[in-house]
Structure 1
């Protein structure tokens, strides 16, 4: 019975039946009366879509961006649609301080670094969802059909949201059930034979219940030889208005991605001579499959105008399985790649409870905004991996590959372990408004973390317990309504996974962050921001191609972020940003002082624009985006190899053919530049897409 209830197809059928029954049971007039009678509950930031206000997730209260000692980068629903953003990786080109990282074999999950520091490259990046703490575990790359907006929150967030959130964290605002009936169907196809269909529909079941359903399917070929992938996504949701003060939401998501595992092309003597289309794995290995499912019950309750609570319990399950053949080195002849083979079977389960109480009160003339946050979580990951025998390899000619030769049997178990993490956290935070100009934010989180790994190969069990305290503090000074200066500081703590050479658990990561900046709002829809940040981390782990982790010791990242958003006219909006990041090794047993951190360019810049106009009586628009990425280290241990800098230009246009029908054309990499997005090692370099045109049709009904 539980399997039936949790099956995504069951959810879809149930929602369709309920919505059909609701429409047949009531006429249009009655439906309109119901909609009019339903007041909106806006306890959390689930409707945020503003570029110039702070995300509620920063402090758990809504403010103008100038009123908080932090900043953010915002990608709105309009940006997502107009620029044809289909993955989180597409959104990174609009923000500063956030850099794309290796996405595990060609885009199987989201992975990025924040101000020079990244998370575990073998698990994908964690994120917040609707202002609630992230849930760890294996997951596919997020589909955009269910995403309303994305905020990249800058500054130390660990005191509020737990492990790892030091330079900042991404908050995804999802679309929510609505009582007004509306649906949108989107179809698209590209010149690289990438095809996508998506449905987003919502409406009232009755005056107390509403639903939302997001569906997406992709069948993608590739400019890369022998490489393709498929993607499936379904997100059924229900909202129950228990009373005018209380609402219960059930959110579910089911996703699957499968396709050829593609490590890209290798560097040879510091150069990239291989044709960008050449695939150097084995087509006969079949597909890598990644699946995930998530269930969340979320209760929002307003006690009064000043106090409210959000309580949520979340469960997620993820799986990753498949076989791949990957390059380990290039032979002395400069054309033969030595390869190894491995199969993976990973599985994660995560349960998380969180309850956030928010309240406003005064002590004399001083205003307070108080937040208490209680969390508990349990996370397990089972990892099994097989490899070919040591000392053997499967060579291939990188300029004239012939597949199916010298395939190696997977005779060696290289990894077989189960890791368990248990977490409890209590957070208290107070933003104190001393007067109209000054406010300070003080917060701290007490954590209890337990970690154990059962190594089935050695029949040994390793355990450790930590009780860290992670504080954060900020101060904001607003001398005028248009100008503010701020500074914040905080610490973070994150468990490292895996065992060292002595079969012992690694030391956890410990991080400290500080920043200072200013924001100037020179017009109602225009502002300029400048930030200097300084972060330091100890025990940053990197996993090499041999499955052994490298402790990079002590690393630091310092830099400057500039951002300008300007609404020139009602029809023209421009966003420009620049980031300087100096991320390097300070102290390490395996690297020299000053060695670079992988995939972190010192210089990145972006310019994007959106111009709206009338085309023969139809609403229309043009968009453009220019991205610059500087040189960066190509290897997980800096060995002097660098990915070349690149500039990519994307343009697009859209027209509203009818009130219910919109056509859109987006052209990526307009000048057909060869470029390289990211790498894990200098033998696994991810190739950027060539010139691509995508035609999309959106029908609303």
Structure 2
């Protein structure tokens, strides 16, 4: 097969012979056996030492290539092809699929060094949930505390990110984070994504790239969906706690130059709590992709998601210790909610010339949200209880355009601009009873927030050095109409922020690369904070630095390590659960990240990711400067089998160390150590497998908060740890048929 592909590629080149051997550049396209473009192929000229990478259309442009030069074309998922340049006219190179081999992975000049690690993980550990997608980011931990329907709690680089305040998340260029959300700033619900449709994950820690803006302080995660499916499939998962998941993946159009597919997911579960969760979710997704020219591409996608659930919420330690409720019990079993999101997304990439192209994307989202919670039980209202409702009805529109120009092999330029508008009606916080009666509106209003941005970035290459510089300008317009006031008053504030970036990469060899990253980032504050503060200190900036390396000390071993520092300016936080504004002050975080990927043989892999963070408030005295719930130590470790005689699977452990729960570190949020297991067997078109969460049935707390509350029978309130229990031993049988 390999020889056939090499002959095919050489023949394609040979038919173009006869032109002058003095040509100075080579333009080509890399595709797979099904004629799909291969992005990220590494084209290396062994004579001139020049190299290039194929873009999303598989196209590459190689400087200083003359007839007779020897080339190698490689990609971690394809067999390497060796050839000689027969002509410098446009050529097509066909690569054949192969089993992943780390000894063929080349460390290239890429500032997003962790993407290679994520690609390896996605290849050897297929995902089944949106939580699995987020866990592909080394050092990012998640916690669920509302029955599976609410966005996860995120932890990264010493941040308790809440639901997304300091991590920017996108899917096909469309933002997931919600500004000025009813529940919390940056709220990022990823449950509308069907994990089997995700092709790749782009992410980085820190704020080092000019095309990334709001919420990118601790880092960003950008998901890209597949342009086409490898095959049709239907799947059924059956698990404990009345858990059922049905999945369908269907090609509607599959030919060269065009593709379309549909994916649908339906999920039900009562979950493991004493009070049944009655959880249900429907996900629908369709995508059409077409190449309108040799290097032009358009992609249209439509999706719809709806979910509803009941929740047990967070429970106090004392209620469990006294026997009032069990570890999986509830104080207020009437919590829960419902949400939906519909999206339309269009992406158009147009090639202007061999040196220039423009990428465009636009999106429209319709979003609804309703959540019932009770964090303090009978603290504020001893008669009816403290249940609250948070609700909103939002429309999001936006676009982004980026122009790219390559001067020569020494310089590349990117110029971009875009707009995002959130129009949010009836953003509500109210005091309710039994999810039916509204006792009091605590906050109610209309929000309209616009973010206009532009940026410029340039890459400069000299020998083994790459320097990336960038500058981003963001302008915000905040509108808020408070519907609880007697007279209409549209409160308006505007603010702008400038964010410079500069990054250095030194790659003396294909086995090692050193980097230094420096950048300024930010996250916007809730519009209700902005008008309350009259526009002062409402775009808190972060200043980031990373120093590290990516290294292959052995052919099948990859390491990454980084020392980092992050300073965050004074900010004001809107607490959506209480409708109050709280200042947090200046903070600094510093730490170390370490990752390892090792391949024992063709089918056995080992992965490890470790992080340590020292997080402190800068305006507080020593000993009272701990940042509550900031993660200190995290560790993920796993062994994976990939296609050994039809078997694939993994055993994975994750550790989140003890964390301070208050500023004095006198109360701790207990850490946990959990082991998950999966095993799948593929026989022709049929796959059968089992997934086990918490294989050793460890008793653990998934999310924890230091909260003051009062139970119905208590005379006085108590401040202590409140938590949502983590899943016990949970097994799920998975069946799939491909056709």
Q: CA, structure 1 residues 271+528, in 2 after alignment: closer, same or farther (shift >3 Å)?
A: farther
In structure 2, the residue matched to 1:423 is 451
Asked if 2 retains the 8 angstrom alpha-carbon contact of 1:158 and 1:491, the reply is no
In structure 2, the residue matched to 1:198 is 247
1:440 to 467, 475, 497: 467
Give ranges in structure 2 of 5+ residues lacking alignment.
Answer: 1-31, 40-53, 59-73, 79-104, 180-186, 708-720
Aligned partners of 1:88 and 1:579: how far apart in 2? Answer: 22
Q: CA, structure 1 residues 92+260, in 2 after alignment: closer, same or farther (shift >3 Å)?
A: same
In structure 2, the residue matched to 1:449 is 476
Does 2:490 correspond to 1:461? yes
**How many Å apart are 1:439 and its aligned residue?**
1.4
**How many Å apart are 1:460 and its aligned residue?**
3.6
Asked if 2 retains the 8 angstrom alpha-carbon contact of 1:70 and 1:154, the reply is no
Q: CA, structure 1 residues 536+374, in 2 after alignment: closer, same or farther (shift >3 Å)?
A: same
Aligned partners of 2:353 and 2:690: how far apart in 1? Answer: 48
1:186-238: CA deviation from partner (whole Å, max 9, x where unpaired): 11111232110111122426665421111100001111022231111000111
Aligned partners of 1:143 and 1:204: how far apart in 2? Answer: 20
Asked if 1 retains the 8 angstrom alpha-carbon contact of 2:144 and 2:150, the reply is no
**How many Å apart are 1:475 and its aligned residue?**
0.6
1:6-62: CA deviation from partner (whole Å, max 9, x where unpaired): xxxxxxxxxxxxxxxxxxxxxxxxxxxxx989664858659999699xxxxxxxxxx
In structure 2, the residue matched to 1:296 is 345
In structure 1, the residue matched to 2:732 is 694
Aligned length: 623
Does 2:214 correspond to 1:176? no
Asked if 1 retains the 8 angstrom alpha-carbon contact of 2:312 and 2:333, the reply is no
In structure 1, the residue matched to 2:545 is 514
Aligned partners of 1:309 and 1:95: how far apart in 2? Answer: 29
Aligned partners of 2:174 and 2:162: how far apart in 1? Answer: 21
Does 2:578 correspond to 1:546? yes
1:500-558: CA deviation from partner (whole Å, max 9, x where unpaired): 59944562221111111111123445311110111111215262742313221111211
Aligned partners of 2:403 and 2:421: how far apart in 1? Answer: 22
1:495 to 518, 524, 528: 524
In structure 1, the residue matched to 2:710 is none
Q: CA, structure 1 residues 587+121, in 2 after alignment: closer, same or farther (shift >3 Å)?
A: farther
Q: CA, structure 1 residues 456+114, in 2 after alignment: closer, same or farther (shift >3 Å)?
A: same
**How many Å apart are 1:566 and its aligned residue?**
0.9
Aligned partners of 1:247 and 1:426: how far apart in 2? Answer: 23
**How many Å apart are 1:684 and its aligned residue?**
4.4
Q: CA, structure 1 residues 677+107, in 2 after alignment: closer, same or farther (shift >3 Å)?
A: farther
Asked if 1 retains the 8 angstrom alpha-carbon contact of 2:332 and 2:377, the reply is no
1:460-482: CA deviation from partner (whole Å, max 9, x where unpaired): 43222122111111011123221
Counterpart secondary structure, 2:509: coil
Asked if 1 retains the 8 angstrom alpha-carbon contact of 2:201 and 2:221, the reply is yes
2:598 to 557, 566, 578: 566
Aligned partners of 2:243 and 2:123: how far apart in 1? Answer: 17
1:446-492: CA deviation from partner (whole Å, max 9, x where unpaired): 22211121112234432221221111110111232212211111111
Q: CA, structure 1 residues 540+96, in 2 after alignment: closer, same or farther (shift >3 Å)?
A: farther
**How many Å apart are 1:109 and its aligned residue?**
1.7
Asked if 2 retains the 8 angstrom alpha-carbon contact of 1:265 and 1:272, the reply is no
Aligned partners of 1:84 and 1:338: how far apart in 2? Answer: 47
Aligned partners of 1:477 and 1:530: how far apart in 2? Answer: 15
Give ranges in structure 1 of 5+ residues lacking alignment.
Answer: 1-34, 53-62, 395-403
Aligned partners of 1:127 and 1:513: how far apart in 2? Answer: 19
Asked if 2 retains the 8 angstrom alpha-carbon contact of 1:294 and 1:315, the reply is yes
In structure 1, the residue matched to 2:640 is 610
In structure 1, the residue matched to 2:559 is 528
Asked if 2 retains the 8 angstrom alpha-carbon contact of 1:654 and 1:662, the reply is yes
Does 2:169 correspond to 1:127? yes
1:133-170: CA deviation from partner (whole Å, max 9, x where unpaired): 66646745243132223343223146222112123201
Does 2:690 correspond to 1:665? yes
1:599 to 629, 636, 649: 629
Does 2:235 correspond to 1:186? yes
1:587-625: CA deviation from partner (whole Å, max 9, x where unpaired): 26xx987543343321111111112465xxx41134110
Q: CA, structure 1 residues 158+495, in 2 after alignment: closer, same or farther (shift >3 Å)?
A: farther
Q: CA, structure 1 residues 114+698, in 2 after alignment: closer, same or farther (shift >3 Å)?
A: same
Aligned partners of 1:329 and 1:578: how far apart in 2? Answer: 41
In structure 1, the residue matched to 2:607 is 575
Does 2:324 correspond to 1:257? no
**How many Å apart are 1:272 and its aligned residue?**
10
Asked if 2 retains the 8 angstrom alpha-carbon contact of 1:423 and 1:448, the reply is yes
Asked if 1 retains the 8 angstrom alpha-carbon contact of 2:341 and 2:367, the reply is yes
In structure 1, the residue matched to 2:84 is none
Asked if 2 retains the 8 angstrom alpha-carbon contact of 1:454 and 1:462, the reply is yes
Aligned partners of 2:298 and 2:244: how far apart in 1? Answer: 36
Asked if 2 retains the 8 angstrom alpha-carbon contact of 1:158 and 1:470, the reply is no
Aligned partners of 1:497 and 1:122: how far apart in 2? Answer: 13
1:556 to 576, 583, 588: 588
1:223 to 250, 254, 272: 272
2:158 to 112, 116, 136: 116
In structure 2, the residue matched to 1:484 is 513
In structure 2, the residue matched to 1:150 is 201
Aligned partners of 1:229 and 1:46: how far apart in 2? Answer: 41
In structure 2, the residue matched to 1:627 is 654
Moved more, 524-533 or 265-274: 265-274
Asked if 2 retains the 8 angstrom alpha-carbon contact of 1:158 and 1:492, the reply is no
In structure 2, the residue matched to 1:313 is 362
In structure 2, the residue matched to 1:381 is 424
Q: CA RMSD in A?
A: 3.5
1:643-681: CA deviation from partner (whole Å, max 9, x where unpaired): 21111111221111x210011112211110011112355
Asked if 1 retains the 8 angstrom alpha-carbon contact of 2:258 and 2:290, the reply is yes
**Higher RCO structure, 1 or 2 (CA under 8 Å, sep 6+):** 1
Aligned partners of 1:337 and 1:280: how far apart in 2? Answer: 15
Does 2:387 correspond to 1:341? yes
